[in-house]
Structure 1
Amino acid sequence: MSNNVAEPVDEGRTGDQLDDGINNCSLQKLRRYDSLDLESGQVPAGHHSPATKVVKWSVLLHLAFQSIGIVYGDIGTSPLYVYASTFTNGISHRDDILGVLSLIFYTLTLIPLLKYVFIVLRATDNDEGGTFALYSLICRYARVGLIPNQQAEDSDVSNFQLELPSRSLKLASSLKSSLEKSRFSKFFLLFITMLGTSMVIGDGVLTPCISVLSAVGGIRKATSAMTEERIVLISIAILVCLFMVQRFGTGKVGYTFAPIICIWFALIGGIGVYNSIKYDPTVLKAINPKYIMDYFTRNKKDAWISLGGVVLAITGTEALFADVGHFTVQSIRISMCTVTYPALILAYTGQASFLREHPDLVSTTFFDSIPAPVYWPMFIVSVLASIIASQAMISGTFSIIHQSLSLGCFPRVKVVHTSVKHEGQVYIPEINYLLMLACVAVTAGIAVVFVMTLTSFMLVLIMIMIWKTNILVVISYIIVIGSVELLYLSSVLYKFDQGGYLPLAFAAVLMIIMYVWNDVYRRRYYYELHHKISPERLKEISANSNLCRIPGLAMFYSELVHGIPLIFQHYLSNVPALHSVLVFVTIKSLPINKVPIQERFLFQRVEPRELNVFRCVVRYGYKDVRYEEEFFEKTLVGILKEFIQEEILSSHEDDAELEVNEEHGENEEQLDQEQETLQKEIEIVDRALHAGIVHMIGENEIVAGKGANLGKRILIDYAYNFLKKNLRQSEKVFEIPHKRMLKVGMTYQL
């Protein structure tokens, strides 16, 4: 079940338009399988996805322009501090500058350009990117999810289908089978997904610190009165203001981002060309990788340690993939190849040329290399660009938490949708203030390389299992890209005791929270699955003469997808009354980004028929917006009526096929009876609706079972219950008004 709270939002569609979309839904298709008692359905793979939408060039260029302001703020501001972070002990040899420039050139070419733009962007989940998108893509193709809530009907959702090569390979089938059979592999995939998420959030902590401090530090060149303490205070003030305005949403200032970053790229590229011509044009020979070998030969261990500074040139690269859902793959590729990549190469080349003449100014390379006439405009733009870079990572953190909520990997927090046009623009108050407090740390680039390495690992699985890439190509990718990332990772880990532990410590805290919540979430689901009410037991309950029916429609919420939850029996044993119409509602998150509204609701009738009890699975993707309750009720009841109608009419069609030889009059009589039955059941629903809707929420108290060991008691009784009590409660998940809500409590001993 999704654990987030969505603010009411205008979806930009009228009720009539939505009803038309629902009416177009084939309910017969949705009822093709009976999942009421199906423990887990086989979800077939190998379908072809719907045709890719053709985007006009005008729209594509417009998106490419907008992406410059959102996606590249972080990687674009790296020239502020890369050389200073690489040569922390000064420059001992002039040719070391060429070696580092060559390292920067090939790092930018291999990682952001080759790996992400041309390879990773192919692995989007219906045009959504990020660590969870990779995980959901793998979960759709192989049954590696740890919650047994798959349904055969889920494969009918249009966005669920995968576009796969028709030629199958033995290696792909073998890898898929191995993952599905290995419980360790399932846990490991979930673990690295949560780890990658935590690391990206860690990057969201370090980026604002480094970029804002570096930009504000440029004022020291203009006045000696600007001390380090004052720079820190100004930076903190900027960061606090930045976090305080997050509640208004990025959409309100988003259109100002792209022009500023475009000006930034134009300035750093232009200054780079100017410096290259003025100081030392021969730095262009750094394109020869020989200078990298010479640099390592001269400096040995110090050269390896300095890679921790070089890797800062690619901070924010993950945003290329994580933010692709706001734009398109083509627009990201256009903006990267035509603007960002050339501007960065020119900027680093110009700084290297400047350092060849002024090696003693390496700690303040960026601002010292700016020509005097454009110094102040450049200073202002650099501060604005650093703020935008911070904004991009903060927004990315909100999106990641939003995704992890839907997959049961994070406690309930409030998610506010700040835009009526863009569902991905969200704001999470608790996370916002947590990030603001964490941004007092000065960190290194460990989080950046960790995420890249984990992305490569998951991408290799996708290459083999889904794309069915030639094994020689996969091996080449591992050797070229993987070895480079592991080399950088080993370098940044060396700085662990020099501040590098800070992003890891922050990520570790998030990992503990995610692990505790997800572990108990799974334990609770398996407990409910093993103790669900059988159809036979339900018939016994319905036959109880003490059970009375009361007017109204009750929605009973649970997280159990297959079967009736045990808490329902607990409710009837204490309150032997049943509403005239009862719908068991399960909010289910599919491992896809969005579920079309006309494919969202799955209904099943619970026998015996006279009970008027139904099960409804409401399916959402991890990027879907949850609707306000009144809208949800209207939609659910409308589709329930259509389900009843389709069910009765389809049974008549089946009977007609079996009785083709019967008299025509008997068929008409049967049809009249079915019409009467249909009208009667619709009237029952209408009367129940008129009497009022009651929302029943199962509130389960989770405790460790008798005889549980110390670790399990700490996990459940203290850690999980602490998170549960201090974060959002169930009624907040559905935005249910208190006057129509009834909580049913029960203790689960796990």
Structure 2
Amino acid sequence: MSGSGGVESGERQVALSQDNVKGNKLLPQRYDSLDLESGAVSGYHGRSSKAMKWSVILQLAFQSIGIVYGDIGTSPLYVFSSTFPNGINHADDVLGVLSLILYTLTLIPLIKYVFIVLHANDNGDGGTFALYSLICRYANVSLVPSQQAEDSNVSNFQLELPGNKHSRMASSLKSKLENSRVAKFFLFFATLLGTSMLIGDGVLTPCISVLSAVGGIKEATSAMTEDRVVWISAAILVCLFLFQRLGTDKVGYTFAPILLVWFAFIAGIGIYNIIHYDPTVIKALNPRYIVDYFRNNQQAAWISLGGIILCTTGAEALFADVGHFTVLSIRISTCGVVYPALILAYTGQASFLRKHPDLVSDTFFKSVPGPVYWPMFVVAVLAAIIASQALISGTFSIIQQSLALGCFPHVKIVHTSSEYEGQVYVPEVNYLLMLACIGVTMGFRTTVKIGNAYGIAVVFVMTLTSSYLVLIMIMIWKSNILYVISYVLIIGSVELIYLSSVLYKFDQGGYLPLIFAAVLMTIMYVWNNVYRRKYFYEVEHKLSPRRINDIAANTNICRIPGLALFYSELVQGIPPIFKHYVENVPALHSVLVFVSIKSLPISKVPADERFIFRRVEPKELNMYRCVGRYGYMDVRDQEEPFERILVENLKQFIRDDYKFSPQSQESAHDSDEDTIHGVQKEALERDIEAVDKAWEAGAVHLIGENEVVAAEGAGIGKRLMINYAFNFLKKNLRGSETVFDIPHKRMVKVGMTYEL
């Protein structure tokens, strides 16, 4: 950990240096206590790397059906109606569209995500942040300012690279990214954009899924008008969001049976329709019908791609939710249940449309046989709610990741399950999502218009994933260039064609996810930009060693019993706000710990590698610096107080600091070994006793509450961003004390103004 010169105890390197070798005789190695802490822990790996019994894998595969596939599984509700908004011109057009659906489902969700992208998991976790994390850990492209050398010592930080395989292209690409500030900002910008689009999915999925399912009731009674369908859908959405605060504990076991019934229903109805209406529809396996479809319809066929791509909605969830399961369990559930059921469902609908092309606007429910209509309707509504639940929960996880990386304002993160990792609830975001969903449902009213908006969000995230994956294939996997070119030419070009189609419908609702993304990106950019400016200000104004010595020598500063935890974002020295505190409150607690909470670009940090410490010199001050490290998917244990865990780790650090100190290492060569050991033992017991007494006297939490303003002479853009946008977000959202669940009775805020 870099620090402020002589403020910290001297650095002790693990590796042998020239000074360790004298006359071919090795002296004892000098260890740094931080290296000891992180090096003493056995390797931590994600869930996917553990050897599991087949019974456990099959159990996870069953659970995954209830969590992962709600979105892609309910796509048959609206794909054909979105593809043919103006009706079917020729019966063979159905075969062309079916052929496109079959090959798109095979190429993107199955081949791309299940068999390729799932390999790019981050210690078992997936999603946009996982891809960005892998790239940041391999190449120095991260814009997070609080990076430290010790971060790479976390046992699951290092990537598993392919042997000694060397690639000139990989080295060249890595060098170019690391040396280009533009490239670093572009990667960060793309990550924010992809994240914003995923959050847009969280708004649009509940709207289109619930509206499509509820619309089926129109087939049972003519009294059910479009207005009533919209109002019923809005009511279901309100209930759905109100129940979010209860959490989704045991969600896999609860939802999996329902979705399993759903997949059985759509597969069975698909088989029935194929046999009953037109068995020859299976000739759509011949891609010639795709060529004929484009030849006959030309521009209209290209425009219809925006509806066809909706058959892949939720494919990103396969990757994003892999952290709750394993790669193998996701593959089993996809290949064994989901993919076959979807193929049968779309083929059955196409068979029905070959005989009834005039019913394309309500294809799904019109193709359901009468005797199973009501059971199908009930299961469809439940499946739509489950699909919505999955995307809403996913949005909460994305917000948590953004917050962890300093890209989102402080909001309260509530962990709703002690058994299932990653299940979180964000109250502020929940109600904003509810208002947005109701607004979209009431404003757009039909699935066709919402589908136009939905397509842009879906295809953009897929294209971004492919872009990141190509970087990973070249730099990290060092794949054969022919494989990379094949991926780009086949999958990449297909996604770009789909993207061009959905962008054509920009003025027909396609602008909606871009508006969402623009608003969210503005919020994220403002917060992250000012966050980094604040951090660099603190680095430039951190306290010097001389100032710390002045504080130690100042007889006007009294010491009071107790433990003080001084929170700051700075991990590279003593923050300037401490000087402000001492000048206004000339009293220091008997033990003072400067605490920094930081996030690493990995999904999880092992609990026993959570904290790293440094002693602040001079020793008589009893001052320490502590960095608490978390991954972007880590759950903070709220059952055990944070301060208790910190104190236990602090005492262990003190023991290790004495054990591996230079004096202790060199005492073996000293004639007065017993004397030195005795002195050190007394000092160790004195320091441990000081911490115990301070802990017993009570802990107080000192929060640095920094006000930020634009410096004099700043441009209008900078003033607007800092003085208005950032401070508006800060005042209207939660403070850091709420985020850390700090007890108000033992909290003191220390204010200071930073001119940035």
Determine the C-alpha separation between the residues in 2 that align with 1:117 and 1:682.
53
Matches within 5 A, 1:137-152: 137-152=134-149
Residues 49 and 124 of structure 2 are in contact (CA less than 8 Å); yes or no, is this contact kept in structure 1? no
Q: 2:739 aligns to what SS in structure 1? A: helix
Candidates 430, 433, 437, aligned match of 2:431 = 433
| Secondary structure class of the residue paired with 2:660 | helix
Out of 442-451 and 627-636, give the one that drifted further: 627-636
Question: Is 1:56 the counterpart of 2:53 in the alignment?
Answer: yes
Check the 8 A contact 2:144/2:405 in 1, yes or no.
no
* Residues 259/548 of structure 1: CA separation in 2 closer, same or farther (3 Å cut): same
- Tell me how far apart the structure 1 counterparts of residues 229 and 679 of structure 2 sit (CA, whole Å): 83
> Cα gap change, 1:477/1:253 in structure 2, threshold over 3 Å: closer, same or farther?
closer
Say whether residues 1:711 and 2:711 are aligned partners.
no
Quick check: 1:119 aligned with 2:116? Answer: yes
More off after superposition, 288-297 vs 244-253:
244-253
Structure 1 residue 158 corresponds to structure 2 residue 168? no
8 Å contact from structure 2 (residues 66, 251) kept in 1: no
The residue aligned with 1:453 is 463
1:527 paired to 2:530: no
Q: How far, CA to CA, are the matches of 1:174 and 1:330 in structure 2?
A: 34
User: Of the candidates 593, 597, 604, which is equivalent to residue 594 of structure 1?
Assistant: 604
Matches of 1:523 and 1:449 in 2, distance apart?
34
Offset from partner CA, 1:646-705 (integer Å, 9 cap, x none): 211222xx4465454543xx2112211111111111122122222221111100001111
Contact (CA 8 Å) 1:126, 1:159: kept in 2 or not? yes
Decide whether aligned partners of structure 1 residues 173 and 253 sit closer, same or farther in structure 2, where only a CA change above 3 A counts: closer
Rounded to whole Å, the distance in 2 between the matches of 1:543 and 1:172 is 55
Give CA deviations for 1:719-745 in whole Å, capped at 9, x if unaligned: 000000000012112211122111111
Q: Counterpart of 1:24?
A: none
The amino acid of 2:465's aligned partner reads T
Matches within 5 A, 1:395-544: 395-439=393-437, 440-441=439-440, 442=444, 443=450, 444=452, 445-544=455-554
Q: 1:22-33 alignment to 2 at 5 Å? A: 30-32=33-35
Displacement of 1:85 in angstroms is 0.6
Which secondary structure does the structure 2 equivalent of 1:31 belong to?
helix
> Partner of 2:497: helix, strand, or coil?
helix
Residues 508-553 of structure 1: per-residue CA shift (max 9 Å, x gap): 1111111111111111111111111122332233223332222221
CA displacement at 1:34 relative to structure 2: 13
**Deviation of 1:286 (Å):** 0.9
| Counterpart in the other structure of 2:636 | 626
Mark the CA change 1:225 to 1:500 in structure 2 (over 3 Å): closer, same or farther: same
Q: Which position in structure 1 is the counterpart of 2:307?
A: 309
Distance 1:263 1:393 in 2: 20
- Name 1:672's counterpart in structure 2: 678
Q: What amino acid sits opposite 1:72 in the alignment?
A: Y
- Write out aligned runs for 1:571-590 (5 A): 571-590=581-600
Return the letter of the residue paired with 1:169.
S
Range 144-153 or range 611-620, more displaced:
144-153
Q: Give the Cα separation in 1 of the matches to 2:670 and 2:400.
A: 58
Which secondary structure does the structure 2 equivalent of 1:159 belong to?
coil
| Aligned residue identity for 2:601 | P
AA partner of residue 521 (structure 2): M
Name the SS of the counterpart of 2:562 in structure 1. Answer: strand
Deviations 1:178-236 (A, max 9, x none): 11111111111111111111111111111111111111111111111111111111111
* Conserved? CA contact 1:49–1:161, under 8 Å: no
User: Quick check: 2:598–2:627 contact (8 Å CA) kept in 1?
Assistant: yes
Per-residue CA distance 1:536-575 (angstroms, 9 max, x = gap): 3322332233322222211111001111111111111222
Indicate which of 178, 193, 200 corresponds to 1:195: 193
Residues 202-213 of structure 1 mapped to structure 2, 5 A cutoff:
202-213=200-211
Matched, 1:736 2:742: yes
Residue in 2 that maps onto 1:39: none
The residue that corresponds to 1:72 in the other structure is 69
Amino acid in the other structure paired with 1:469? S
RMSD, matched Cα? 1.9
Q: SS state of the match for residue 696, structure 1?
A: strand
Identity percentage over the alignment? 71
Task: Note the residue ranges of structure 2 that are not aligned, 5 or more in a row.
Answer: 1-29, 445-449
Alpha-carbon displacement from aligned partner over 1:409-449 (angstroms, at most 9, x marks no partner): 11111111111111211111111111111113142211000
- Superimposed CA distance per residue, residues 608-630 of structure 1 (whole angstroms, 9 cap, x where no aligned partner): 11111111111111111223496
Give, in whole Å, the separation in 1 of the partners of 2:668 and 2:53: 54
Structure-2 residue corresponding to 1:84: 81
Bigger mean CA deviation after superposition, 110-119 or 541-550: 541-550
Alpha-carbon distance in 1 for matches of 2:572, 2:639: 24
> What letter matches 1:733 in structure 2?
V
- Is the contact made by 2:708 and 2:722 (CA closer than 8 Å) also made in structure 1? yes
Structure 1 runs not aligned, ≥5 long: 1-26, 36-42
The TM-score with structure 1 as length reference comes to 0.92
Which residue identity lines up with residue 645 of structure 2 in the other structure?
T
Aligned equivalent of 1:14: none
Equivalent AA in structure 1 for residue 428 of structure 2:
E
Task: Give the Cα separation in 2 of the matches to 1:642 and 1:427.
Answer: 34
Letter matched to residue 421 of structure 1: E
CA distance in 1, matches of 2:498, 2:268: 30
Matches of 1:371 and 1:656, distance apart in 2 = 83
Aligned residue for 2:249, secondary structure, equals helix
C-alpha contact (below 8 Å) 1:30/1:153 kept by paired residues: no
**1:135 Cα offset (Å):** 1.0
Partner of 2:14: none
Of the candidates 563, 571, 575, which is equivalent to residue 561 of structure 1?
Answer: 571
Determine the structure 2 residue equivalent to 1:720: 726
Q: Are residues 31 and 483 of structure 1, via their aligned partners in 2, closer, same or farther at CA, if it must alter by over 3 Å? A: same
2-side partners of 1:163 and 1:48: how far apart? Answer: 12
Q: Distance in 1 between matches of 2:82 and 2:344?
A: 19
Residue 48 of structure 1: how far off its partner (Å): 11
- Residue 99 of structure 1 corresponds to 96
Displacement, 1:592? Answer: 1.0
Match of 1:276 in 2: 274
Q: What does residue 688 of structure 1 align with?
A: 694
Task: Confirm whether residue 698 of structure 1 aligns to residue 704 of structure 2.
Answer: yes
- Displacement of 1:354: 0.9
Q: What amino acid is aligned across from residue 734 of structure 2 in structure 1?
A: R
Q: Quick check: 1:291 aligned with 2:289?
A: yes
- Give, in whole Å, the separation in 2 of the partners of 1:209 and 1:710: 39
How many residue pairs end up in the alignment?
710
The whole-number CA distance in structure 2 between the counterparts of 1:682 and 1:188 is 48
Q: How does 1:204-283 map to 2 (within 5 A)?
A: 204-251=202-249, 253-283=251-281
Query: Is residue 2:132 matched to residue 1:135?
Result: yes
Task: Quote the Cα distance in structure 1 between the aligned partners of 2:623 and 2:635.
Answer: 28
Distance 1:657 1:494, change over 3 A: closer
AA partner of residue 63 (structure 2): Q
- Shift of residue 378, structure 1, vs aligned partner: 0.9
Inter-partner Cα distance in structure 1 for 2:663 and 2:619: 18
Shift of 1:244: 0.9
Provide the rounded CA distance (Å) in 2 between the counterparts of 1:618 and 1:661.
37
Q: Distance in 2 between matches of 1:106 and 1:34?
A: 52
The alignment partner of 1:614 has SS state of strand
Q: Is the 8 A contact 1:48 1:161 kept in 2?
A: no
Distance 1:256 1:544 in 2: 64
| Superposed displacement of residue 489, structure 1 | 0.7
Inter-CA distance 102–352: structure 2 relative to 1 (3 Å threshold): same
